[in-house]
Amino acid sequence: MSSRVQNIRGMRDHLPSAMILRQHIVATLVSVFERYGFEPLQTPVIEYAETLDGKIGDDEKLIYRFEDHGGRKVALRYDQTVPLARVVAQYQGQLLFPWRRYAIGQSYRGERPGRGRYRELWQADVDIVGSSSPVADAEIIALLTDSLVALGFTGFTTLLSHRQLLGGIARVSGLDDAAAGNVYRAIDKLDKIGVDGVRAELLAGGVAHDAVERILALISLRGAADDVLAELAQRLSGDERALAAVNNLQAIISHVRAMGVPEQQFTIAPSLARGLSYYTGSVFETVVHNPPMGSLLGGGRYDELIGLFAGRPIPTVGLAFGIERLHDVMEELGLGPQARTVAVALMTIFSPEMAPASLALAHELRAAGLAIEVALDPGEKLGKQLQYADRRGMPYALVLGPDELAHGEVVVKDLRTGDQRRLARSVVADALRRM
Ligand code: AMP
């Protein structure tokens, strides 16, 4: 046993003030998800290792694996998408498609920890299972936009692309499907190594100079979504699969617009690769303009993954919000509740004789739906009790002395300003709620 009293690197403890923000994030997401008709699902954190094997691509080495007490080979889930695929296959007789489900929970990745990169990460997933309609892709994009707005984000952009675009870009540059894989891996690093890095990597991988420049020109296209798609359609005109991808993206963004997503909140980004190997169609991720923090969420269409379990293809589109990143960015931007305690007020105890009346008042206010903490030591000086409430960050303290009791009143003290008001007992709950 290690003598260190220490949590594992890349996994976080969240003390109450952080949890207040996290629970606000989760509650806000749930309310938006349910407004779109998504239903909750929960699955275990541990799966049979073979359920996860061969599903996520190169990062499979990051999966935490071990043998359980029965000697079974098991693994901590890497995401909530592969478990969803397992669930759909296992319960397909009971599910009605299209099926919209959300799942909020932790996954584990043995990554090198860094800014926004953890080994235990909570994600909030939404997926529409059993539909290949571009309306489903658009629903997910409208939902993510509404979710971020509900959380208070303003400056963010959703980058949108399609798996078949990069393939098409490689093909019209004269590369075969095998070489396209290398192109795709190099482009996936664009954010980390820049255009020059991608150029160097493609050249080192044996891609001809001309082809490299053509690829870089295509993935660097930027501008209004319709213009970029028109340009891509023209430059990829010899490649049927890529043209189908362009048409699919066109359909998706027309539905996205119809659902009220403003033009400045999405863009076509042909360079978007997204690491996970199960994507087959649209791919997207959303970034905040400030502070720098990778993607807040990522998703796309995966029409074949579930088929690996279900024995028949079940087209699906979905996304995962990274709750760790939402949390870190919201903390940095000062978004969300600023409260440091869940209690709005401390019910002080004026003197040992006043304890029963004070506890009864606390009970009455709790029954009215208010979060009230009670002082625990009836003998403690009132000043000490107020100091405790203030240091905890509680906005109010309530004082019930013999005189207030006799007049049916309560003193409500605002601990931030020091102001205090004597209110009729019957209006205290309403007053606290309003304040
Ligand atoms: P993925 O499941 O890889 O598609 O990622 C979806 C989202 O989860 C990303 O956009 C991030 O917000 C978040 N995420 C992925 N990996 C990590 C990690 N190691 N630590 C924290 N958040 C992560």
235 in contact with ligand 1, CB cutoff 6 A: no
Q: State the CATH architecture for 345-434.
A: 3-Layer(aba) Sandwich (3.40)
- At 273 the pLDDT is 82
Ligand 1 mutation pick, 117, 140, 305, max ligand atoms within 8 A of CB: 117
Q: Say what the pLDDT of residue 2 is.
A: 56
Reported CATH class of domain 16-333: alpha beta
Residues 6+ apart with CB under 8 A from 177: 167, 171
Determine if ligand 1 sits within 6 Å of the CB of residue 111.
Answer: yes
Give the CA dihedral 41, 42, 46, 51, nearest 10 degrees: -10
Closest ligand 1 atom, CA of 109? 19
Q: Give the closest residue to 28 by CA, choosing from 164, 151, 189, 146.
A: 151
Domain residue extents for the chain: 16-333, 345-434
pLDDT tens across the length of the chain (435 residues) = 556 899 999 999 999 989 999 999 999 999 999 999 999 999 999 999 999 999 988 899 999 999 999 999 999 999 999 999 999 999 999 999 999 999 999 999 999 999 999 999 999 999 999 999 999 999 999 999 999 999 999 999 999 999 999 889 888 888 887 777 788 888 888 888 999 999 999 999 888 999 999 999 999 899 999 999 999 999 999 899 999 999 999 999 999 999 999 999 999 999 998 877 789 999 999 999 999 998 999 999 999 999 999 999 999 999 999 999 999 999 999 999 988 999 999 999 999 999 999 999 999 999 999 999 999 999 999 999 999 999 999 999 999 999 999 999 999 999 999 999 999 999 999 999 998
Q: What is the pLDDT of residue 170?
A: 87
Q: Is 125 in the pocket of ligand 1 (CB under 6 A)?
A: no
Q: Is 116 left (phi over 0), alpha (psi -120 to 50) or beta?
A: left
- Residue 1's pLDDT is 55
Q: Nearest C-alpha to atom 12 of ligand 1 is from which residue?
A: 322
- DSSP at 112: P
Q: Counting atoms of ligand 1 from 1, which one is nearest the CA of 123?
A: 8
Instruction: Please state the atom number of ligand 1 nearest to the C-alpha of residue 81.
Output: 2
Does residue 285 have its Cβ closer than 6 Å to ligand 1? yes
In this predicted structure, what is the pLDDT of residue 433? 95
d(CA 326, CA 323): 5
Output the CA 298–ligand 1 centroid distance in Å: 7
Q: Is 118 in the pocket of ligand 1 (CB under 6 A)?
A: yes
Can you tell me the distance from the alpha carbon of 243 to that of 249, in angstroms, rounded to the nearest whole number?
A: 10
Q: What is the rounded distance in angstroms from the CA atom of residue 165 to the CA atom of residue 271?
A: 9
Which residue's CA is the closest to the ligand 1 atom numbered 17? 117
Is it true that 16-333 and 345-434 share their CATH fold? no
Strand locations in 281-352 (E):
282-288, 297-301, 316-322, 345-347
Pick from 163, 288, 297 the residue to mutate for probing ligand 1's pocket: most ligand atoms within 8 Å of its CB. 297
**Confidence (pTM):** 0.94
